[in-house]
A and B are shown apart, each in its own frame.
Chain A
């Protein structure tokens, strides 16, 4: 076992895989991202405490994609917010390239943000409606003082082509694109700072299935070309199985099972089994839904 997990998850964890068995992984050494005993508590108006994340542990190696699956209230979004440093953990540590980041100063945090970028579910809300696509893509560079005058169009074109869009999209505005095209622009924007890790929070769940399919293929292709590291948060366990190396299942703030995506259908935890049973497959004979 290459990764610390909490007790219950360990009991249900077989075939999780090690980083050395990862096809695309760098090999041995320090994980690129590691969370150890991460907790987040929220105070409730009635004086009680809501434990949104309880002792969450896992590691992520370069070139790997880790899927976090869970339903509403499972704590997956809170976990992402802590990793993105949008909210402070109540306990535990987050290591980026072996360095503890959760207690960094504001200036250090800003530098670290360069290394983790995020793609959201609805880019139409994440983009400034009055900015052109080229400005949207290059804004992160500008924010970090990395954009030279007159470079914008050339850089935007390079990244647009990388995500399968024509360079002419550079002059468009968010409302002049389809949802799938906007998600491609969001991916281009996330990649422009050459981050270590890209976090996808339900990034394809609002899209039509055929569009989702083409974006899933694009992400896997980009990962292989650039040795990118992905963290996917999604409720669609079948999609996660298709695009991830390893899967962490969360329920009620806890990691209940961690498993290699290849062996996902052999998962043992009752909640993971329930998630698997809830997938409607197109099969000749209708399977009864057992819940």
Chain B
């Protein structure tokens, strides 16, 4: 029986929409996979030596941060790791034992990417520890303890995923704990470090998390079995609809109609809500560039790059996928009395508004000096004047339907790997850096900023011309877009 299941899984995997037929995408996806794996392995190997270099006891230091590692892991899982219910429905009426179905579904999660990626870090780390003379048996005990906590997270995600917005709670928890520790009010690691360390120091204590894991697995199993009904665990949650008028947007005519619709689109779908969250996170991406924490990032050119990401978070995560957001009803759009221009224009305004809002929110970067904030503002001007157009133009080539209800996939969905769309990403980032570089070449930062801002303003002035161009592109791509959107994932 299991063999049959595995056969189904294999088919589901190779025929899944995100795997696609596109060879380029497969290769890039493969590269990304290898890249991340290597990073994790590299961290696993390197962590020991780096910490040693810093005169820190590696194992103790790692244990100190484990609490954050696990909390962060849980947040990422809650946001992204899918729970394994989707493919169960067709199996229910077949002559299969329910327990078999549940066992298989749970077993499947054990092999999930979200689990084995951690092994890539912890296994090399453990091996390095052993090579450096730590007690073999005890370190393996520690390893088992830590890995079982990873798997505890796996099952927690399954049980907790029904609760909305729980991830936010954990994020708050991380921020509060981290903040409290940073300002030396309360240090959670004082309590957790000895706990994690005790897996290593006290023989047999690692059995505690393993025991918890077994209990949790049993509990999840029961929970799943009990909910294996169409109107229980397998039901699709229906939201209580709220009607919104947003009538203040009426004054903008057709543009307002579309804006109204876009706002509802973003507010009412899981996938697009994730986008908002992600563009909010982009706001803080700049901290890496401006705080001076990472030396290679602390250069003027990199500061501009940071500015582009800080002000353009929404542009990159939402704009990139226009018009795919409307994929499920694209045929409707194409039969309505809609000028393409109005449709694109509405999306453009949405991006512009979001960029302006991001820039205002980013004013906390003034803390790092007005020059930094000026860089962000200049980057925002460039984003509005040039990148917003490029992103819409790229949209004409993204032809992968978006399943709005699905939260996962917001990270580098395959759409991001559309070759022509990817080519359009380059000028979004490289051109402003180049312009800025010219200014720096003449030893004049402000000249660089002026060049970048000037290009942005130029783009803004000629936006009518550019829109005509984009419109033409969309019209050319219309039929292939419609047919692509019809192929539902």
Answer yes or no: are A and B bound together in one complex. no
